[in-house]
Chains A and B, each alone.
Chain A
Amino acid sequence: MQQRTPIEEQIDLPFVESLRISFQSLKIRFGRSIITTAGITLGIAFLVSVWTNNEIGIALQESGRQSTINTFEETAEAGISTKDIWLIIMSLIVCVVGIANSMLMAVTERFREIGTMKCLGALDGFVVRLFLLESGFQGFSGALIGALIGTLGAVLLGLKDYGLDLFFYFPLLPASPEDGPMQLGVIVIILLGCILGMILAVIGSSFPAWRAAKLPPAEAMRTEV
């Protein structure tokens, strides 16, 4: 059999092109993107509200103010109680599981699309990069909205508990009082929430995307969800 022109190597697409395709994809499946993003928003909102609420409690107690509603046992304890730690850990788990699940579903239902893109000449790395960009953007925007909602929720709860005193002692910035536990401050919590949301979304989607990208296209296209 005679040898024709040798098969060349596929080119790597410029980053801008990946960015454009991923944004296009987010825009077109806007409804589905919103649902996935809402999963992230809820997880982070829950975590941030519990965490911020806890910080507000500590800050107000440090300042000598007491809750107008909290029970005696709760206000008597300064610093993070076991119950608070438990609540934060629980909310973190809910957040991790919720986000991982949202992303996993969002990628798995697109296995066929991944297979098709590979048929048309997409490199494995390109497919993974596309999902990384999409999920990173969804993760960050979802987490930012979630963190703001969570903070708002915690502030409203604080207002109910402490009244307007809340604003005089609002733990906006990190503080490490000598006789009390270290406080991260609300800004840091919001930032951590955003980073966590983004990282979880990226991990949650990149693993199944990587697995799908590695599959031969025939197998990826056969996958039924």
Chain B
Amino acid sequence: MADIVVKTEDVVKEYRMGSNILRALDGINIEINRGEYISLMGPSGSGKSTLFNMIGALDRPTEGRVYIDGQNMSQLSQKQIAAFRCHRVGYIFQSYNLLHVRSAHGNVTLPMIFAGISEKQRNEKAEKLLDMVGLGDRMYHLPDELSGGQRQRVAIARALANDPSIILADEPTANLDTITGREIIDLIKRLNLEQGVTVISATHDLKMLDVSDRIVDIRDGLVERIRNRDEIEIEVGEVGGEGE
């Protein structure tokens, strides 16, 4: 039996925009297996980022349930949700979301401070992680002194600080050039393969298809279809061909 790490049941999210109600998610049902690399695909406004927020406990669904590791997220206390965000998930955002007043090293140590890890241990771990993402020589630079690709590397190192079992990446390559984007994708894929981290990525970057195990197509707040890797490879070829 597959080991399901994330399961959503009829997840609905509505936003109130003045007097209008916008239904961003209209009943999403998906199951994600441990160790999988999943891409949530869809055009802007399709609801993929909203779903990403629901899975990462960054927002609450209006209706429906999200289960992580069999745990109904809506039943968790505030302290449990904070611990979940701190220990179980590593977030990577399109706009990096680094704290610009803290150095690369300071950003990577922050989640470890929240986890109560000793100063010595967190310094060692931050150095190791920044070395791993290729920023060993720019550890004490502020985010403003780093390029987009380097900032995203810091964000990846920060996401890994507390050894999460899930990496949630919201359009991690959208602000990067093709080559840097490719490097970031390769880095995330390596973590997925070597450390068995489950990767859930909201994206409309076609390069992400290549490395995904499955793609969940989201359209108008609904799951349009779920494709597995074999289908992906065929379609990537077609898309690449069309573009040339």
Question: Which A residues are closer than 8 A to B by beta carbons?
Answer: 1-11, 13, 17, 21, 24-25, 28-29, 112-113, 115-124, 126, 216-219, 221
Contacts and interface: CB of A to CB of B under 8 A. Distances in A.
Contact of B82 (A6, A21, A123): A123
A219 B86 CA distance: 18
A116 B162 CA distance: 16
A124 B110 contact: no
A113 B99 contact: yes
Contacts of B22: none
A155 to B, nearest CB: 39
A117 B101 CA distance: 13
Contact of B97 (A11, A13, A112, A121): A112
14 contacts: A1-B70, A3-B69, A7-B71, A9-B83, A10-B80, A17-B113, A29-B101, A112-B97, A120-B86, A120-B158, A121-B111, A217-B58, A217-B85, A218-B59
A112 B96 CA distance: 11
Contacts of A11: 83, 115-116
A122 to B, nearest CB: 6
A122 B114 contact: yes
Nearest to A14: B116
The 9 closest A-B pairs by CB, nearest first: A121-B86, A10-B82, A121-B114, A3-B70, A10-B83, A4-B69, A218-B58, A218-B59, A9-B79
A124 B79 CA distance: 9
A104 B7 CA distance: 40
B76 A2 contact: no
Q: Which of B4, B69, B162 has the most CB of A within 10 A?
A: B69
A155 B158 CA distance: 55
A112 B70 CA distance: 30
Interface string B67-108: 101110000111110111111100101000111011000000
Nearest to B49: A218
Contacts of B87: 8, 121
| Residue picked from A13, A123, A124, most chain B C-beta under 10 Å | A123
Interface in B130-174: 158, 162
Contacts of A218: 53, 58-59
A119 B91 contact: yes
A120 B90 CA distance: 8
A10 B79 contact: yes
A30 B78 CA distance: 33
B79 to A, nearest CB: 4
A7 B69 contact: yes
Contacts of A120: 85-86, 91, 110-111, 114, 158
Most buried by B among A4, A8, A119: A119
Given A9-B77, A28-B101, A4 B70 contact: yes
Contact of A9 (B53, B80, B98, B99): B80
Contacts of B124: none
Nearest to A221: B97
Interface string B41-58: 000000000000100101
A6 B73 CA distance: 11
Contacts of A7: 69, 71, 76, 80, 83-84, 88
Given A2-B70, A3-B69, A117-B110, 10 more contacts: A3-B71, A8-B87, A10-B79, A10-B82, A21-B113, A24-B101, A29-B101, A113-B99, A126-B114, A216-B53
Contacts of B115: 11, 121
A4 B114 CA distance: 22
B230 interface: no
A19 B58 CA distance: 26
A7 B59 CA distance: 18
Contacts of A13: 113-114, 116
Contacts of B97: 112, 115-116, 119, 221
A1 B67 contact: yes
B229 interface: no
Interface in B1-39: 1, 3-4, 7
A217 B114 CA distance: 16
B84 A2 contact: no
B207 interface: no
Question: Which of A13, A113, A116: most chain B CB closer than 10 A?
Answer: A116
Interface in B191-220: none
